[in-house]
Structures are given as structure tokens and as C-alpha cells.
């Protein structure tokens, strides 16, 4: 099944939260997640920079940290959401404002914008989406071993029904691989790259995986 881009929130069995992002793409597969200076960006692979002239939405910061919160998204909404959280906005409000400000992508597919946010201090996470027909943001209570996910297509509503119950990654590298081919994610096609933030005390460990 092709879901397009995927975000997820999870907690491993040791109680560490994770925010995860996976690029799945049929149109622009020549991209990679690049870790730099405490954040992760999606960029064209060397030699494919010209793809930006075909679609300006394919390059952006996808994972950033704002205090206790880790934010993972599929587009340039990452930055305004992080900035609002850093200013003291509750995550639900920051997500909603960021999605409303950016709106869905105005490409030929009206691609939705999606968001995942988790805390390293309390067992709470958020999933949000803005589609052409809706804006939906939901808070989840994180439980050990459970991973809730949201995608641009098919699984495009934040709900408890989109869940993987076998998440137990103890490292960021493990989580970056898991959202590509672990658990339920192995069923979803066209993976390209992934980026994750996994809580480690008062900080987060970041990792990327390129297929």
C-alpha cells in the first residue's frame, strides 16, 4: 500500500518517546535526510538538485527540537510550528496555527501537510494534518510499545486505529530503520529516507536512514 509521507509518535518499552518521519515517494525518490546542527533536512541527492525546479515542496527541515518537544513534519511547516512552541504556545495550538498558515501544498495532488510532536517529559504526543477538506489535530497518551502514525494518503486521519503495537527501539538508529521496514511500516511501499528524534533524558538523539 502506498501512503506517501508518514509521521509517527511512539514510546518504547523503556518509556522513551519518539517522533518519526518517513519519505515515501513515487515522483521524487532521489532525496535524502541530512542531519546537521541539531536538526534534519530533506534535500535532493547530489546530482538531482534540478528537481527543485520541478517541485519546490521537496526540500525542507523535517525534524527540529523545541525544548522538551520534538517536531517531525513533511514540509516547511516545521519551522513555524517549532517557533510557536519556543514562544510558549501549547503544542496543539502551535500545530494548528502552523498548518493553517501554510495550508496544504498547492501541487497537482493537493498534498496534505502532516505533523508529529512528542515530549521527553510526559507521555503525550500529537498528530496533525491539513488537507484540502479538513484540519485535524489530536492529542494522544503515549503507551510503551505503541506507535501511532499518520500519512498524506489513505491513513490521513489522526486516530487510534492507525497503530503499531510492536515498537521497542532503544536507539534513534533503530527507530529510523523501524519506520522504513519494521512492524506495520514494512507493508507500505516506496520508502526513500527517514528521520527520527528519540528522547534521551532531557535531550533527543537524532538519526537518519537513506534507502
114 vs 76: CA distance, rounded Å: 10
CB 34 within 8 A of CB 134: no
- Break the chain into its structural domains and give their ranges: 6-210
Counts for the chain of helices (H) and strands (E), in that order = 4, 13
Alpha-carbon separation of residue 171 from 14, 17, 26, 30, 200 (angstroms)? 11, 11, 29, 26, 9
CATH topology assigned to domain 6-210: 3.60.20
Largest CA distance in the chain: 44
Task: Report the candidate in 165, 190, 192 with the shortest Cα–Cα distance to residue 33.
Answer: 192
Task: Report the candidate in 187, 158, 190 with the shortest Cα–Cα distance to residue 4.
Answer: 190
- E strand residue ranges, the chain: 6-11, 17-24, 31-36, 39-44, 60-66, 69-73, 113-119, 124-131, 134-141, 147-151, 163-164, 191-200, 203-210
Residue 92, pLDDT score: 98
Tens of pLDDT along the chain (211 residues) come to 999 999 999 999 999 999 999 999 999 999 999 999 999 999 999 999 999 999 999 999 999 999 999 999 999 999 999 999 999 999 999 999 999 999 999 999 999 999 999 999 999 999 999 999 999 999 999 999 999 999 999 999 999 999 999 999 999 999 999 999 999 999 999 999 999 999 999 999 999 999 9
| SS3 state of residue 173 | helix
Residue 27, pLDDT score: 93
Q: What is the pTM of this model?
A: 0.97
DSSP 8-state class, residue 89:
-
Dihedral of CA 153/137/166/19: which sign? positive
CB 115 within 8 A of CB 77: yes
Amino acid at each position: 500500500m502506498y501512503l506517501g509521507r508518514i509521521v509517527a509518535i511512539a514510546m518504547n518499552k523503556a518509556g522513551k518517546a519518539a517522533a518519526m518521519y518517513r519519505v515515501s515517494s513515487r515522483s521524487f525518490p532521489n532525496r535524502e535526510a541530512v542531519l546537521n546542527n541539531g536538526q534534519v533536512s530533506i534535500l535532493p541527492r547530489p546530482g538531482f538538485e534540478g528537481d527543485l525546479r520541478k517541485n519546490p515542496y521537496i526540500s525542507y527541515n523535517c525534524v527540529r527540537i523545541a525544548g522538551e518537544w520534538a517536531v517531525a513534519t513533511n514540509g516547511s511547516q516545521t519551522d513555524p510550528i517549532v517557533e510557536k512552541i519556543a514562544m510558549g504556545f501549547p503544542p496543539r495550538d502551535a500545530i494548528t496555527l502552523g498548518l493553517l498558515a501554510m495550508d496544504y501544498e498547492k501541487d497537482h495532488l493537493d498534498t496534505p501537510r502532516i505533523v508529529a510532536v512528542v515530549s521527553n517529559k510526559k507521555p503525550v504526543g500529537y498528530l496533525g494534518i491539513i488537507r484540502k477538506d479538513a484540519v485535524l489535530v489530536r492529542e494522544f497518551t503515549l503507551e510503551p510499545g505503541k506507535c501511532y502514525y499518520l500519512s498524506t494518503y489513505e491513513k490521513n486521519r489522526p486516530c487510534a486505529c492507525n497503530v503499531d503495537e510492536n515498537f521497542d527501539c532503544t536507539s534513534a538508529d533503530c527507530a529510523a530503520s523501524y519506520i522504513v521496514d519494521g512492524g506495520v511500516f514494512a507493508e507500505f511501499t516506496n520508502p526513500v529516507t527517514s528521520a527520527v528524534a528519540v528522547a534521551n533524558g532531557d535531550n533527543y538523539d537524532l538519526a537518519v536512514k537513506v534507502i
